[in-house]
Amino acid sequence: MFFTPVSITRGLLEDLADQGVDFGTQSFMDPACGGAAFLAPIALRMNAALQARGFTEREVLAHVEAHLFGTDLDAALCELSKQFLRMSLHAEIERTGYLPRFNVSRANSLSDLNAMFGTLDVVVCNPPYRKMTAAELEPLRTAYHDMFEAQPNLYGLFIGLAVKLLKVGGRAAVVTPTSFLSGQYFSKLRTFLMHNTHIEHIGMVSDRLGVFIDVEQETALTVLKRRATPHDGETTAKVSVVSTRGDYTDVGPSLLPNSGATWPIPRAVDDVPLLRAAGQTGFHLADYGYRARIGAFVWNRDERPTFQRAQEVKRARCQTAVPLLWSGDITLDGDVAFDEGKAKPDEYRFVDFGSRLHSSVITRPSVILQRVTSNTQARRLVAAPVPQRLFDVFGGFVGENHVVVLEPTVDVPALTPTELSKLLAVQAVDRCFRCISGATNVSAFELGQLPLPDPNRLKQLLKTGYSLGEAVHRAYGLAND
């Protein structure tokens, strides 16, 4: 239930074959082999390729011994992998009477495989996904310093390990969440991959449900080829949508920047021209005079005084309490449903940060967005302008931690908060965001990377009578006036 599904394994190995991998001559390794989800199918493909070339069954077994490797931190899983390999080659073992000594061993792959760096033709891996602890990370800092920052996810280091294990011209195929394509703390990893590999193919699994248990992100199947010389420019990767059956549908090429910026990956064929056009505008949220920040109030940790209704604030004679806005206050119609007279249990309506001049109190007309959304929703960007009344009556507001605030950075931003929230609701803008976000969180970093139309061009088009959707389409350069 927790290992790689057979359909995904088959699809990724077929992709490797399409890229030119030869299962009859090349060496293969899985540094997180688990239950042999990759090792056993690779052994079967080796067997078929070698027998087609006239190898005897004994020669096949010897070849698998010498060319297939696996490591895992769990000794029991290593034994399980060996048993599955014996099952995969049972007929050959039975007929020859030879029991291979498979190269599957217990190891901390991130620290114990230095001797194998630069020796393998193919590395295939579905690494573990979780945040690393400081104690785990400390002994790895020197070896992996150029591919992580802050508190990295374990799978990011495994992607880097896969590259380090490859010969020049070798290929890595990894099954991972898509967050490395866009997350802020994966910026160094993206730069490392662009510098050291050619990203040959990215397959986006079309339905995350039913693929892995308790994984709320999309899944990416990525094929990387080790470069002979470092590369510092942008590159183009082939992109496909992959069904849960492992079938690939070509979407088209995607241009990947080598600056630590997000990699815009089309999720459908229609996204290709949109991303190509939007990526050439060069305009982002900052050009509209806004910045994104996360709501400061964490409901289950913050100990500041809170109130469920305005009358409680008055009774407490609190002069500095301000409205507290929650994700659930943002409606799909683009409004903020703030009722100062009542609140749901545990959803306080006011909070006191001690001063209305506190840096967490937003005092200028702004936009708020739901911070957690999903690709199954009609829109990923669920935004609304904060009612002016909250500024006039209370002097500002504070966002709960599941709210993203778009706050003006200039006296007169290019669009008012109402206009900006409507812009974010336009389908083309929402599609652009889906293509740079692989997680359920709407992050401030990704919002800052979102390609937007030229604000001056957009305002000119609106003045000439175009609807907002039409104006955005033309300002992106997808149609002529």
Q: Which of the given ranges, 301-310, 346-355, 398-407, has the highest pLDDT on average? A: 398-407
pLDDT at 246: 81
Quick check: 215 pLDDT over 50? Answer: no
Residues 6+ apart with CB under 8 A from 397: 322, 323, 324, 325, 361, 362, 386, 390, 391
- Domain containing 92 — which CATH number? 3.40.50.12420
Q: Are 373 and 217 in contact (CB under 8 A)?
A: no
Residues 6+ apart with CB under 8 A from 286: 409, 448
Quick check: 93 pLDDT over 50? Answer: yes
How many other CB atoms are found less than 10 A from the CB of residue 136?
Answer: 15
Residues 6+ apart with CB under 8 A from 17: 23, 45
232 in the same domain as 318: no
Quick check: 479 pLDDT over 90? Answer: no
CA angle 452, 458, 460 (to 5 degrees): 160
Quick check: 480 pLDDT over 80? Answer: no
Edge-first strand listing for the sheet containing 248-256: 103-106, 68-72, 28-30, 120-125, 166-177, 219-226, 197-205, 235-242, 248-256
Mean pLDDT of 101-117: 97
231 in the same domain as 124: yes
Which ranges of 37-108 would DSSP assign to H, the alpha helix?
39-52, 57-67, 75-88, 90-96
Arithmetic mean of pLDDT over the chain: 92
Count of domains for the chain: 2
pLDDT at 210: 38
Which of 325, 290, 296 minimizes the C-alpha distance to 410? Answer: 290
Quick check: 100 pLDDT over 50? Answer: yes
Q: Are 402 and 370 in contact (CB under 8 A)?
A: yes
pLDDT at 225: 97
Q: At which of 224, 242, 269 does a domain end?
A: 269
311 in the same domain as 262: no
How many other CB atoms are found less than 10 A from the CB of residue 345?
Answer: 6
DSSP-assigned letter for residue 169: E
Mean pLDDT of 244-252: 85
pLDDT at 206: 67
Residues 6+ apart with CB under 8 A from 318: 305, 307, 350, 352
332 in the same domain as 260: no
Mean pLDDT of 233-242: 90
Sole residue written with tokens 């000439």: 464
pLDDT band of residue 456 (cuts 50, 70, 90) is very high
- CA pair distance 31, 106, nearest whole angstrom: 10
Q: Are 380 and 430 in contact (CB under 8 A)?
A: yes
DSSP-assigned letter for residue 436: H
Q: At which of 227, 243, 269 does a domain end?
A: 269
How many other CB atoms are found less than 10 A from the CB of residue 129?
Answer: 18
Quick check: 22 pLDDT over 90? Answer: yes
Which of 226, 176, 179 minimizes the C-alpha distance to 198? Answer: 226
pLDDT at 7: 86
Helix (H, G, I), strand (E, B) or coil at 80: helix
| Residue 370, token pair as written in the block | 């739901």
117 in the same domain as 216: yes
Domain presence at residue 277: no
pLDDT at 270: 87
In Å, how far are 140, 146, 192 from 137, measured between CA atoms?
Answer: 5, 13, 18
For CA atoms 271, 272, 276, 279, the dihedral sign is positive
Quick check: 420 pLDDT over 50? Answer: yes
Quick check: 284 pLDDT over 60? Answer: yes
pLDDT band of residue 213 (cuts 50, 70, 90) is very low
Quick check: 209 pLDDT over 50? Answer: no
Residues 6+ apart with CB under 8 A from 412: 289
260 in the same domain as 328: no
Domain presence at residue 280: no
- Domain containing 291 — which CATH number? 3.90.220
470 in the same domain as 382: yes
pLDDT at 6: 87
Mean pLDDT of 368-379: 89
Domain presence at residue 1: no
When mean pLDDT is compared across 204-213, 308-317, 401-410, the lowest value belongs to 204-213
Amino acid at 239: V
Comparison of pLDDT for 136 and 1, the residue scoring more: 136
Quick check: 212 pLDDT over 70? Answer: no
Quick check: 374 pLDDT over 90? Answer: no
Residues 6+ apart with CB under 8 A from 187: 149, 260, 261
When mean pLDDT is compared across 121-125, 158-162, 385-389, 436-440, the lowest value belongs to 436-440
Quick check: 176 pLDDT over 70? Answer: yes
HSE-CB for 314 with a 13 A CA cutoff: 5
- SS3 helix, strand, coil % of the chain, rounded to 5? 35, 20, 40
Quick check: 226 pLDDT over 70? Answer: yes
User: Which domain, by its residues, includes 368?
Assistant: 285-475
Quick check: 211 pLDDT over 50? Answer: no
Q: Are 225 and 20 in contact (CB under 8 A)?
A: no
333 in the same domain as 237: no
How many percent of the chain have pLDDT more than 90?
78
* Length of the chain as a residue count: 481
How many other CB atoms are found less than 10 A from the CB of residue 87?
Answer: 12
- CA pair distance 224, 163, nearest whole angstrom: 8
Helix (H, G, I), strand (E, B) or coil at 162: helix
295 in the same domain as 180: no
Domain presence at residue 181: yes
360 in the same domain as 238: no
- CA pair distance 454, 282, nearest whole angstrom: 8
Q: At which of 269, 300, 333 does a domain end?
A: 269
421 in the same domain as 354: yes
pLDDT for 117-161, tens place per residue?
Answer: 999 999 999 999 999 999 999 999 999 999 998 889 999 999 999
Comparison of pLDDT for 212 and 374, the residue scoring more: 374
pLDDT band of residue 217 (cuts 50, 70, 90) is low
Which of 16, 3, 156, 22 minimizes the C-alpha distance to 81? Answer: 3
pLDDT at 481: 58
209 in the same domain as 292: no
- Please list the residues that pair with 370 across neighbouring strands: 403
Domain presence at residue 19: yes
Domain presence at residue 275: no
Residues 6+ apart with CB under 8 A from 179: 153, 186, 217, 438, 439
Q: Are 266 and 272 in contact (CB under 8 A)?
A: yes
In Å, how far are 64, 171, 434, 448 from 290, measured between CA atoms?
Answer: 58, 42, 20, 9
Quick check: 71 pLDDT over 90? Answer: yes
